[in-house]
Structures are given as C-alpha cells and as structure tokens.
Structure 1
Amino acid sequence: MDQKEISLRGAGAILTIDLAAIVANWQTLQAVSGTECGAVVKADAYGLGLHPVVKALYEAGCRTFFVAHAFEGAEVRALAPEAIIYVLNGVRPAQEYTFAAHNLRPVLNSVPEVEDWGQYCATSHKRAPDGSLLKAGLRIDTGVNQLGLKLYDLERVDHLSPLFDVTLLLSQLVTADDSIADRQIEAFDKIRARYPGVPASLANSAAIFLDNNPPLYDLVRPGYALYGGNPVPGRPNPMRPVVRLDAHIIQVRVLEPGHSVGVERLWKARGPRRVIMVAAGLADGIPSGLTDNEKHVGGKALIQGTLCPYVSDIAMDYSVIDVSDATYLERGEMVELLGKTVTIDDFAAMANVSGYEILSNLGRRCHRRYQPL
C-alpha cells in the first residue's frame, strides 16, 4: 500500500515525517490514559507511510493496531508479527479467509457480519495460531448512529457466541455533548455486563482528554493525535508536531496594480505585488479553501519567517503565494507550507476542512523524508 518512492531530485515537494515524534506522542497518550494505548494506522498511517510508522511504533512497544481494511491488516502483520490487529470496517462476504490467514480480528458491525463470521468459524475449522478459536471485536452503537450493533442486535446473535472469541467491545463518544456522552457510557456499560471479562475501548484521540473524564476502560485507540493533530481544540496542543511540507518555487512573478491571478480571477493586486508559484497543489493535498480573496480570508505559508497569503485559486499542480512582504526569493528555492508554525490544525482551519482530511491527502506526490523536524 505504500506509495511508490518519489526521488528527492524529482519531487516538487518534500514531506518530512518525524517518527521519533510519533513514538513520543504514543508514549504521551499512554501515560495520560493510564491504560494500554493502541494505534490507528489506517489510510497509510494517515498518509504518512504505513511501513515506517508501524515499524517505529512496534519497536517502541505498541502491540495493538487498528486498520480499516483487511489488506492493510495483512501489511501490518508482516511488520508486527506478534501484534493484535483489528479491522474496523469488518469483514465482507468471501473475505473471511484473508482474516484467518493473517490472524486478523474483524470488528463486527452488523448482524449479517456476525452471522457470516460465525458461519465461517463453524464450517472452515480454522483456528488462531495458538489453536484457540478465531477472534473478533464487536462495535457497539451507543449513539453515533453509524457503524455498530444495538442491544437488540446482540440479542439476535447470542446463539453464535460459542463459535468465536469476542476479544474487544468498542464504541465511540459523541465528544461535543457531555449529556449524550453520559448516556452513551451508561448504554456501553449495560452491554459490557453481557460480556464479563472482555476488554473494552471507548476513547479515540479526543476522548482521552475530555474534561468530564469518561472511563477509558482497557484500551485507547488514538489516531489523529499520534500524528501531531490537536486532540483539545482551542487549547494548547499536548502533542509534538510530526510533519513539515516544503515545496519548490517554480516561478517568481511581479504584478502591477489591478492584475488578477488565475483563471477564476479570485484575487487582484491592490498595488505592486510579488508572487511565487510553488510546486504543490490540489493533487498534493493543498485544499482549495486556502485562497485569500474578497469573500474569504485564506491561508498563509511561512516564508522566511513571514506569514504570506495564498492568492488565486489552487491549481492541480501548484499554488500561488503573495511574498511581497518577504525578502528576495528565487526559482528553485524551497519554502515551508506546513510545519511547527503553520500546523496541521492551522492549515485545516484556514481552509475550513478537518485536519484528518489534510493529513490523509498530503504527500501523495511528495518525496517522503523520515527525520526530525
């Protein structure tokens, strides 16, 4: 699943990823939660590279990983032979063999999934590597109303319980409303009582830091915070920054007053201006909402210590930045678009998108460089 390696010489942009910071964030989350800390590494480790990220976390002691799809789980298994690997999107028809072959645990989200997995376990005679029954997690829908089983669903599939081992109960809090969260915890505890001794997990990145201190149970499963995203919006970020994005300057252009930039003509120069075109655009994860114009205050990049605005519409392969307030720049130089000053969360807020979207779309055409920021 890892992208084809793009050479440093050939890339228009460089995505620097600090693996030591990811490990430090995992250690912080484990210390804060006071319980086992897993790692969500789906979507190519949020776009940062599944192989190096899993390798670093596994070597640091992480032993439970979460992915979205079975093919991701198979890749994690090759990197983390002794780890527990849960597949959050569950098991699709005719996919059961892949789970058994790679010792993956599906997170079962619906009655048909439970029935299919139970039937496979009963008829295939497959076993876990230690000779025990095959394993699975159950996702409980306590109020998010997306994937998951309700209490009445569990009552329908109780007769299948002897066919496989349930090794995790998981749900997710609606973190924006404490009153709903309290009802969710109550519903979750009621279902946990039906499965005595089975580990439970309720907390993603944000829930670990909620002020109302919800129970974190046996396992937390952060994703966004591992990669430097702020789990406590509006407050100082307790996580270390993980990524920096730098792009080459393709061209420097001087504009006269009144000149517009781009095919949509979203921005006009109000005086003599100097702009640069940098080799990172929509196809590299730069969101269209960064554009600064008369209707919208857009994003900024840190250019030689000065925050400079994006102007014009973001093109597929490049972006335009007004660098009139920065010092002299030349074609071929590198400029920082995202890093310690303009963070993932800043970048997302400027474009009015989620930080998850920023992270998972970054770097598809970049040279990935793994070193300290």
Structure 2
Amino acid sequence: MNERNVTTLPLEETGGRLTLDGGALAANYAALAARAAPAECAAVVKGDAYGLGLEPAAARLWQAGARTFFVALPIEGRRLRAVLPEATIYVLNGLFAGAEPVYLAQKLRPVLGSVEEIERWSAFCRGRAGPLPAAIHVDTGMNRLGLAPTDAIGLADRRDELAFPVALILSHLACADEPSHPLTMRQLEDFRAIVALFPGVPASLANSAGTLGDPALHFDLVRPGIALYGGRARADVSALRPVVRLELRIVQLRDVHEGEPVGYGAAQTARRHTRIAVLSAGYADGLPRLAGSSDLRRGAAVMIAGRRCPLIGRISMDLITVDVTDVPADEVQAGDFATALGAGIGVDDWARHAETIGYEVLTSLGRRYHRVWHD
C-alpha cells in the first residue's frame, strides 16, 4: 500500500466525498508515541481502522513507525497481514474455536481471555504448531473479556507448564476517558499486582485515554485507537489533528414558507421564510438519525461557504436538509459541497447531538462515498 491516493467510487456517482488525511494520521501517531515514551506505542486498527479503511490506514501507521497492531477478529488480522508482513498482530477478541490454523498461518497472536482458551492454545502448540506467542488478558474491572484475578494467579503459578510463551499481559481501562474516576486507580493497582506475578513479560493497560492520561498507566506498551483518527479520547484533552473530512453534495435548493414543515414526521416547522439545501447523504451513509433537528431540539450543522448551517428536520436514509437562509444566494448552488466533517466540525460534534460517542460516528461512515487518501 504505497499509493499516494486510494479511491473507491467515482465522485460523479456519489453523494459525498470522504477525504482521509494520511499526514494527520501519521502526526497523531507521532504525538502519541512521544507522549508514551519510553513505552512502545502500538496502533489499534480494529473496525476497519475505525471506519477509515484497514489497509491504507495501517500502511501509513507502519510508515509512521508503528510495529505492533491490534485487531478484533482473525479476518481483520488476515487482511492486515497481507499488507504488513512483518508486523506483530494481536487479535483482541480471543481464540476462536476452529480458527487455530488461521492464527498459525497468518502469524497472529491471540489475546487469551479465559482458562479454556489458554488450554486450547497450549494444546494446539503442543500438538502441531510449536511454541507460538500469545497475550494473556486479565480483567481488572471492566467485567467483559479477561481472566478473573484468581485465575491469573493460578496461571502464574503454572506458567512453566504452558506450551507457548506469554508475550504480553494486558487489561483494559473502563473509565479512563473520565478524569479522576476512582475505578481507573483501582484498575491500575490491581494490574500492577498481576504484572508482578509475570516477571519479564511486557505489560499493556492504556487505551487512547490512558495514553493521554497518567504516565503510570503506560507500562511497556500503549494501545491508542480513537485518538489516532482524530476523535476525542478524554473529556479534559482536546482531540488531535482531524483525519477525516466529509463533504456532501448539494442536490437542490428550495424555499419553504414560514409555518411549513420540513421532512419526515413534520418534526420541524420553518419559523421564517427559509431557504433550504438538500444534501445527498443520510443515515445509510453513517449520519446518525438522532443528530437531526426538530421544533424541540437543535440538531447538528454543516459548513457552507464558510458559514455554519443548521440541519432542519429529520435525517432520512439518503438525504438531509439544511437551513441556508443566511448564506448569500450567490455563494451556494446545486452541485456545491457542504462540509459535514472538517472546518471546525468533528465527529464528536455529531456524536453530541446524536447522544452517542465519536467512535460510533466514525466507524459508521458508509461505503457510498467517494473516498480518497492524501498525504
């Protein structure tokens, strides 16, 4: 993946243009790596690199210096291996039964989060594969994946019996995005106690929020995700450089008289003679429906001709409507593009209006856009 530009659908056939900034992605990685030093900075590229595209994003992160990557699924690991033959790749969601040969063939390291998975990987290594490295996931308070602390203690006692090397001990922070949340310090203390049982094994606790937080959370390796892609990871830290710019095609301009409704459900009524622009994208393209506007609540906005223009009415599957009354008539016309992400509008702005998080907005951006990477 050494190309300068990667495109998907022809621009003239799509409702929007999604521009992905490889330079910003590399700069964000460099900033996080500097923050984490002397710990190694890995890159989390699960969820199709948070919606940006696994292969081109990973190639640029490798060029920026990342050597260790985390995915969620073996199929993501297979895709990643095809473009990064020398990378260290961990599969966060564990060891899928029957997929052991895939981990072997693709040189993937499972993140083992249960006694059953550990026994199965050990048996696979003993039976045919040889000593293949894996990570051990210990739960310190998330109550999701991971060994219970008592199981981790038992594993440490019989570590010499394992048929594979433990390459990494990791856990996952539950509340690091909320400064001063007491659970974070409790998890840190519990993780330190577990790490002490595995001398000589590298340890990893910090996600994006942890990387941007207390250096005590960094240990030997940090695993940033959302911060790499320009999303806000902590309430007290501004987002890094935006990586995504989304521009939506203006299909039509029309006038709406005062008192007339706009869109499905007549959710919003024009309070004045209103000029609206109809944009060719909707919730099928990843624009969250709850970010629409109504008479009771203000929705998201886009930028047109340097002016912030609020949505008017609901977001539908393929279209949104925007109030452009305050934009001079000679500065907006059908065929122009409105900026939905970029120019000061980020994924977290859309998320706030949709009562969700920037992660969901970013990973939901659809496949109907013309996509282009530039560096």
- TM-score normalised according to structure 2 size: 0.92
Q: Which residue in 1 is equivalent to 2:12?
A: 9
Please say if residues 284 and 317 of structure 2, whose CA atoms lie closer than 8 Å, have aligned partners that are also in contact: yes
Please name the residue that 1:153 is paired with. 151
2:170 alignment partner AA: L
- 2:57: which partner in 1? 53
- Alignment match of 2:360 (pick from 357, 360, 365): 357
| Structure 2: distance between partners of 1:62 and 1:304 | 38
Taking the aligned partners of 1:271 and 1:115, their CA distance within structure 2 comes to: 69
Task: Identify the range of structure 1 (5-14 vs 78-87) with the bigger mean alpha-carbon deviation.
Answer: 5-14
Instruction: Find the counterpart in structure 1 of residue 227 from structure 2.
Output: 225
TM-score by length of 1: 0.93
CA deviations on 1:143-195 (whole Å, 9 max, x unpaired) are 11111111222345554752111101111223235422222111111111221
With over 3 angstroms needed to count, the CA separation of the structure-2 counterparts of 1:61 and 1:235, relative to structure 1, is closer
| Structure 1 residue 229 displacement after superposition | 1.0
User: Which secondary structure does the structure 2 equivalent of 1:368 belong to?
Assistant: strand
- Of 33, 46, 49, 1:30 maps to 33
Q: Secondary structure at the match of 2:264?
A: coil
336, 350, 365: which is aligned to 2:339?
336
SS in 2 for 1:28: helix
**What's the counterpart of residue 108 of structure 1?**
112
Distance, in Å, in 2 between the alignment partners of 1:253 and 1:59 is 47
Change (3 A) 1:263 1:363: closer
Q: Return the offset for 1:234.
A: 4.6
Q: Does residue 285 of the first structure (1) align with residue 286 of the second (2)?
A: yes
Gaps of 5+ in 1: 128-132
Whole-Å separation in 1 of the counterparts to 2:181 and 2:278: 46
- 2:171·2:205 contact (CA, 8 Å) conserved in 1? yes
Q: Does 1:84 align with 2:85?
A: no
Q: Number of paired residues? A: 362
Secondary structure of the structure 2 residue equivalent to 1:86: strand
Superposition deviation, residue 266 in structure 1: 0.5
Identify the residue that residue 135 of structure 2 maps to in structure 1.
137
Identity across aligned pairs (percent)?
42
Q: Is the 8 A contact 1:90 1:108 kept in 2?
A: yes
- d(CA) in 2 for partners of 1:317, 1:54: 30
SS across alignment from 1:274 = strand
Q: What do residues 298-356 of structure 1 show as CA deviations (whole Å, max 9, x unaligned)?
A: 11111111111111111111111111111222221111111131112222112221000
Counterpart-to-counterpart distance in 2, 1:333 and 1:4: 20
Q: What amino acid sits opposite 1:141 in the alignment?
A: D
Match of 1:130 in 2: none
Structure 1 stretch 67-76 or stretch 156-165: which is displaced more? 156-165
2:197 matched to 1:194?
yes
Whole-angstrom CA distance in 2 between matches of 1:323 and 1:120:
63
Q: Which amino acid aligns with 1:286?
A: L
Q: Alignment partner of 2:77: what SS?
A: helix
- Superposed CA deviations along residues 243-299 of structure 1, whole A, max 9, x for unmatched, are 110011111110011110112111001110011110110011101122222222211
User: Structure 1 residue 40: deviation in Å?
Assistant: 0.4
Name the amino acid aligned to 1:83.
A
Equivalent residues of 1:15, 1:243 under 8 A apart: yes
Equivalent residues of 1:275, 1:321 under 8 A apart: yes
**Residue 138 of structure 1 aligns to which amino acid in structure 2?**
I
Aligned to 2:308: 307
Q: Give the structure 2 partner of residue 215 of structure 1.
A: 217
1:72-111 alpha-carbon deviations (Å, 9 max, x no partner)? 1111111111111000001111011100001000001112
- Contact preservation (8 Å) 2:259, 2:269: yes
Distance, in Å, in 1 between the alignment partners of 2:189 and 2:235 is 26
1:224 alignment partner AA: I
Structure 1 residue aligned with 2:3: none
In structure 2, relative to structure 1, the CA distance for the partners of 1:272 and 1:184 (3 Å cut) is same
